[in-house]
Amino acid sequence: MSSRNLGAIYPGIFSERLECGSVFVGREQSSGPFLYNPFELYLSGALTSPNLMVFGQIGYGKSAFVKALLSRHVEIGYRGCVLDPKGEYRALVRRLNGSTFSFGEAPGGGLNPLATLAGGQSDTNSMSNHYARLDNLVITFNAVLQREVSSLESFVLDECLSDIERRCNELDLFDIHRSLMGMRDSQLRGFGGFAPDASHSAGQMALELRRYLFGDLQGIIDGPKGTGNQMSLSEHFLHVDLFSAHRPESMRVGVPVFLALLSKQLARASSRYLIALDEAWLALASPGCIGFFRSYWKLARGYGISNIAVVHRSEDLSASGDIGSVSEKVANGLVSDSQTFVIFHLDPT
């Protein structure tokens, strides 16, 4: 039996000290304070991945640990973000003077996937911004339709977006809805023999979108033009409250749109983020979220982020999809792409 074996069996008693200057997490039973900072440990070579998985039964301290880890990193200059399906992080947001965004609170208060992000390029009609908007638009309709858009539907969205951009600098989904409902003959001619199918696809997408703009699902993706009322992704601590809406569409549609906007922010940001995903199995059961979390875990080092997934048991990740499904494979892949595991009393079964 080596000291390495003992350290694996009895962490905190026989484990080697991590060379880390911050952040205080707790005390080891034999060697004083235990410090943990995934970014410092990655830069020093002690870790090859800054991602964490937190397991444990209810009432054993998972949430307290994650809240402490987030707050102590934010207090020394890092940025934090938490997706909160249970509403447990509201007090922490107040203490850190962060901001909260809630889906479905009021009509017109949702996200706008076509909004110009703060700090973005001033030329809003540039091709790079066009394709960034189109990417967000496709992601939005993937979530709304609960399937991937077809090649023809993507072409229709591209044509509508281009037509609006020739007339407007700032866009929202209401512009897209009007364009889909009233595609002109001059636009349809570009589809050649597919013009009747294109017109039908445009109408179907407009009808699906209508519920989110004028129906019972307002407040999720009906945000205004510009950046003024857009969720502030530059806050030092951002709380995405999924509990207040009490609607599955907030997770299925709102979260993929939020993640699309966050990805654009992360690609430009110089600050390091900790992104916590409470009840991770719930988000991973949403098809629109799967690809984002896979890329977040795979590209954490490039983005400069540390992902924290919180679940009760490892089996909860497998339950995010059917056996052999993409959801299950992605969920299990998150474990492989994490190197720190925090365990608070697992069920022996």
Asked whether the predicted pLDDT for residue 212 surpasses 90, the reply is yes
**CA–CA distance from 322 to each of 143, 165, 187, 285, 339 (Å)?**
19, 42, 42, 10, 25
Q: What is the pLDDT of residue 243?
A: 84
pLDDT at 161: 94
| Residue spans per domain, the chain | 1-36, 48-108+231-344, 127-214
- The pLDDT of residue 19 is 63
Tokens standing for residue 49 = 């991945």
Whether the Cβ atoms of residue 195 and residue 189 lie closer than 8 Å to each other:
yes
The pLDDT value given to residue 16: 56
Rounded to whole angstroms, how far apart are CA atoms 134 and 107? Answer: 24
Assign 3-class secondary structure to 219-277: CCCCCCCCCCCCCCCCCCEEEEECCCCCCHHHHHHHHHHHHHHHHHHHHHCCCCEEEEE
50, 220, 312 from 39: Cα distances, Å: 6, 33, 25
Which has the higher per-residue pLDDT, 37 or 120? Answer: 37
- Where do we find the tokens 């992360």? 266
* Residue 153, both tokens: 């539907």
pLDDT band at 336 (very low <50, low <70, confident <90, very high): confident
pLDDT class of 231 with cuts at 50, 70, 90: low
> Residue 348 above 90 pLDDT?
no
Say what the pLDDT of residue 294 is: 86
State the average pLDDT over residues 143-170: 91
CA distance 255 to 295: 15
Give the confidence band of 180 by pLDDT, cuts at 50, 70, 90: very high
Confidence of residue 30 (pLDDT cuts 50, 70, 90): low
Cβ burial 226-263 (10 Å sphere, 16+ → b, else e) = ebeebbebebbbbbbbbbbbebebbbbbbbbbbbbbbb
The tens digit of pLDDT for each residue in 275-318 reads: 999 988 777 777 778 888 888 899 898 888 999 999 887 766 66
Q: Which of 92-101, 114-123, 140-149, 328-337 has the lowest mean pLDDT?
A: 114-123
Mean pLDDT along residues 109-117: 84
What is the pLDDT averaged over residues 49-70? 90
Q: Is the dihedral of CA 3, 1, 50, 256 positive or negative?
A: negative
pLDDT at residue number 320: 57
Model confidence pLDDT, tens digit, residues 144-157: 998 899 999 999 99
**What per-residue confidence (pLDDT) applies to 14?**
47
Q: Which residue has the higher pLDDT, 127 or 325?
A: 127
Cα separation of 329 and 317, whole Å?
Answer: 9
Residue 261 pLDDT grade (very low, low, confident, very high; cuts 50, 70, 90): confident
Return d(Cα 152, Cα 146) in angstroms, integer: 17
The pLDDT of residue 229 is 46
Average pLDDT of the chain, as a whole number: 82
Closest by Cα among 187, 175, 271, 256 to 222: 175
Query: Considering the entire predicted model, what is its pTM?
Result: 0.83
User: Cα 150 to chain center, whole Å?
Assistant: 24
Element (H, E) at 38: helix 38-44
Lowest mean pLDDT among 71-80, 81-90, 122-131: 122-131
* Strand arrangement of the beta sheet that strand 237-241 belongs to: 99-102, 237-241, 79-84, 273-277, 305-311, 52-56, 340-344
pLDDT surpassing 50 at residue 260: yes
In the block, residue with structure tokens 């399937």: 147
Q: Is 77 helix (H, G, I), strand (E, B) or coil?
A: coil
Asked if 347 contacts 336 with a C-beta cutoff of 8 angstroms, the reply is no
CATH number of 48-108+231-344: 3.40.50.300
Instruction: Output the pLDDT for position 349.
Output: 57
pLDDT score at 198: 86
Highest mean pLDDT among 29-43, 44-58, 284-298, 326-340: 44-58
CA separation for the pair 156, 201 (Å, rounded) = 8
Q: Quick check: 89 pLDDT over 90? A: yes
Per-residue confidence (pLDDT) for residue 120, from 0 to 100: 47
